[in-house]
């Protein structure tokens, strides 16, 4: 657990905090694994949850200090949902502001896996009699590797964390006979995320979908322009008589879906925080559009996922996968 008063934490703090947690589990696991287990007992297993978030410190009596906060509450609640020999590490954020105590790109935390590996390789002494492979879930980006983060899929597991999102990465510990800690990667997808700032004057009432996508530096969503003709989908800005971003659709097929796949020609984002574009024909994935706020500004996040992945989320507002393409549009007023 690390604490930051405001803004993002220093990347080195994130790496060192996470590295110490991984090392503590892996070293203890490898050292304890060499001792024979009594007959009838299952092999030794470990698991844990490490979440970063705002921590409240309150003086209770003399030198007694109470530490509380959403991240601390979340650790105990999620531990029982972690598989054996796994560490789940991540961040708890406020849904209102989507503030992550870490550098981020298009909502996803950005944690350099190679820097974490180097930290583990050089910082700590090695187990003396046995070892452990530390398997990091990563997203490759040319020569770089970033930890893959997923949104926690089961809202029912987040009791006491109303109004928050939980983004986690999974570290697997694999015991091995040769001594030492070995760090390896499990690669998924590719890093393909971008952020776009949109500035509008008083005369602009809306953005057309093709116009929006042309503003992005990645072409992963160009297939949407093949599915929807120009002017079929428009994003109307909050203006006189409208207090929310609103998506309007002009057509009869491939209508946007809300509320368990209900088709609609209008999505008012202060009533429904997300919608799906059914772009999954011809082998394409569905397009999820999420709305949230950051620093008082409206944000629309475009990402892709297939039916199998989306079915795992009890609330699609929690969806995040660092390995999927993503464009985050931030709307600035005049």
DSSP 145: E
Distances (CA, A) of 320 to 108, 144, 316, 326: 7, 20, 9, 9
pLDDT digits (tens, 9 = 90+) for 5-31: 444 567 788 898 899 999 999 888 887
Position 1 pLDDT exceeds 60: no
Confidence band for 93, pLDDT divided at 50, 70 and 90:
confident
Q: What are phi and psi of 271, to 5 degrees?
A: -105, -40
Residue 75 phi/psi, 5-degree rounding, is -60, -50
pLDDT at residue number 33: 72
- How many residues appear in the chain? 334
Reduced to 3 DSSP states, what percent helix, strand and coil does the chain have, rounded to the nearest 5? Answer: 20, 40, 40
Instruction: Kindly report, residue by residue over 138-169, the tens digit of the pLDDT.
Output: 999 989 999 999 999 998 898 777 778 899 99
Average pLDDT on 210-222 reads 91
pLDDT of residue 332: 87
pLDDT of residue 39: 65
């Amino acid at each position: 657990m690390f604490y930051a008063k405001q803004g993002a934490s220093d990347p080195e703090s994130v790496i060192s905090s996470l590295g110490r947690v991984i090392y503590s589990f892996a070293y203890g696991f490898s050292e304890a694994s060499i001792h024979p287990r009594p007959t009838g007992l299952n092999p030794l297993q470990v698991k844990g949850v490490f979440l970063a978030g705002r921590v409240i410190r309150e003086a209770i009596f003399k030198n007694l200090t109470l530490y509380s906060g959403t991240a601390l509450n979340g650790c105990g609640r999620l531990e029982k949902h972690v598989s054996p020999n796994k560490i789940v590490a991540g961040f708890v954020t406020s849904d209102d502001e989507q503030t992550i105590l870490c550098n981020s790109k298009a909502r996803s935390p950005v944690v350099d896996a190679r820097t974490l590996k180097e930290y583990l390789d050089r910082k700590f002494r090695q187990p003396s009699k046995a070892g452990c492979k530390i398997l990091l879930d990563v997203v490759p980006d040319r020569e770089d590797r970033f930890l893959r983060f997923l949104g926690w899929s089961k809202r029912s597991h987040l009791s006491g964390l109303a109004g928050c999102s939980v983004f986690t990465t999974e570290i697997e510990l694999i015991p091995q006979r040769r001594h030492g800690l070995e760090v390896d990667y499990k690669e998924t997808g590719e890093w393909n995320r971008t952020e776009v700032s949109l500035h509008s004057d008083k005369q602009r009432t809306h953005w057309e979908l093709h116009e929006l996508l042309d503003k992005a530096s990645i072409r992963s969503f160009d297939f949407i322009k093949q599915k929807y003709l120009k002017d079929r989908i428009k994003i109307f800005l909050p203006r006189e008589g409208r207090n929310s971003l609103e998506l309007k659709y002009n057509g009869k097929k491939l209508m946007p879906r809300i509320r368990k796949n209900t088709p609609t020609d209008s999505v008012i984002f202060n009533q429904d925080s997300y919608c799906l574009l059914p772009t999954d024909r011809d082998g394409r994935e569905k397009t999820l559009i999420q709305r949230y706020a950051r620093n008082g500004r409206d944000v629309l996040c475009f990402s892709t996922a297939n039916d199998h992945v989306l079915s795992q989320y009890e609330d699609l507002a929690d969806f995040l996968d660092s390995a999927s393409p993503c464009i985050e549009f931030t709307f600035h007023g005049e």
